[in-house]
Amino acid sequence: MFPHCRPSHRDRIRAIAGAVLAVLLPLAGIHDAARAQAGEDPVAAPAAPYTVVPGLFDPRAADLGLAPAAGTRSFTVFRPDPGADLFNNGAVPIAFKGRLYVQWQSSRRDEDSPDTRVVYSASAYGEHWSPPVVLAAAARGGAMHSNGGWWTDGRVLVAYLNVWPRGFQSGEGGWTEYLLSEDGEHWTAPQRVRGADGRPVEGVIEQDPHALVDGRVLTAFHVRPGMVATPYFTDDPRGVDGWRRGVMANLAYEGASSRELEPSLFLRRGAGGGECAVMVFRDQASSFRQLASESCDRGERWSAPALTAMPDARAKQSAGNLPDGQAFLVNAPNADKRRVPLAVTLSSDGRLFDRSFLLRGESDLPPLRHEGRYKRPGYHYPKSVVWNGHLHVAYAVNKEDIAVTRVPLASLARPL
């Protein structure tokens, strides 16, 4: 869906460097956090917006030493028969008018192929799912469609559709369209997502918009030419018009794609008591750590992305907040490319993540059934939503099956 990793000598060197950083970064992050709490400025580069308590993940133990929270259950949304689309990835959930929806992209065999289409399923309780419905058929003339996720103002369901006019493999990037539905079944014709100047936004949307307390919507577009991750914000409650570009200096990168990719975000209280947004990125430079940037002015200006202490298998992830205010990160917290296990990691203040629970582990991973481009074992590209007293996490299993794992919010409550 976005740039992929291929084995190389440079990747092996970076993996070793990542293992070293696994030890050094948590210590540095805690030191910088202590300096900040004491009112001191960091000596070198600005501290990362958050850190991880040392020893939270044990690389020598099965599933990094993690155990599931009480009541955790997993359900299959879609498992393809041999005659169906065998590649499925990019699952994104949303709750709308009493039902849970999951959207993803699907193709006959290979990732990022011209026959990619966008489909979705719905469920009344998150356990039994309807057969997939086509939201956008395969594009024509060398173009490609991929799923852009959802948004809703509570009255209308918005489905985003990413359009790659010369295909994903061209590296030129694309733009975003949207469809609207009042019932989750009948949809308007697609239209371009537009900026505050009335012109179409020239970028593909990330699948993870979030709203501030005052209703402002924040997300990121990967702007063209290429794919450069860029924060955007709008005061349109439907998230289809009025988008403005936030100010963030991307880290140095080579080629057409930025080092920061596929962000999500969570909210936390700022130093002055106001609301801050923390945007979490995949690091395409193979540090196998998350990058993060912070904005405390409603998404208009962002700090330079900084390397955090959070291990990450260099993949799409999901962040957010529970109803009690806790921040969470859902990812594969590995200091290498293997996307196993899948976990949710929690922080009471959005600064120190100190609890983590297993969502899906090694013993639960089925074998890969069908070969295809970029397919490999693991739990891929999770996205999440809080609904009906649970945290629901949607993801792909081996880029073949679509699944949802739900965790009772009571099992994730802050410890007394």
With tokens 């039902």, the residue in question is 99
pLDDT at 15: 41
Give the three-class secondary structure for 228: strand
CATH code for the part of the protein at 9-412: 2.120.10.10
Distance CA 293, CA 169 (A): 28
Instruction: Give the rounded distance of the alpha carbon of 374 from its chain centre.
Output: 18
Q: Where along the chain do its domains lie? A: 9-412
pLDDT at 172: 94
pLDDT at 28: 41
User: How many other CB atoms sit within 10 Å of the CB of residue 141?
Assistant: 8
Residue 365: pLDDT above 90? yes
With tokens 């609301």, the residue in question is 275
pLDDT at 273: 84
pLDDT at 277: 98
Report the alpha-carbon angle 236-265-365, nearest 5.
Answer: 125
Structure tokens, 150: 């959802």
pLDDT tens-digit profile of 315-360? 999 999 999 999 999 999 999 999 999 999 999 999 999 999 999 9
Report the alpha-carbon angle 324-329-333, nearest 5.
Answer: 145
Instruction: Give the rounded distance of the alpha carbon of 35 from its chain centre.
Output: 30
Give the three-class secondary structure for 76: strand
Distance CA 352, CA 26 (A): 10
Residue 7: pLDDT above 80? no
CB contact at 8 A, 337 and 314:
yes
Distance CA 234, CA 219 (A): 9
Query: What's the rounded mean pLDDT across residues 144-171?
Result: 96
pLDDT at 45: 54
DSSP string, 311-322: E--SS--EEEE-
pLDDT tens-digit profile of 170-213? 999 999 999 999 999 999 999 999 999 999 999 999 999 999 99
CB contact at 8 A, 46 and 306:
yes
Query: What's the rounded mean pLDDT across residues 83-100?
Result: 97
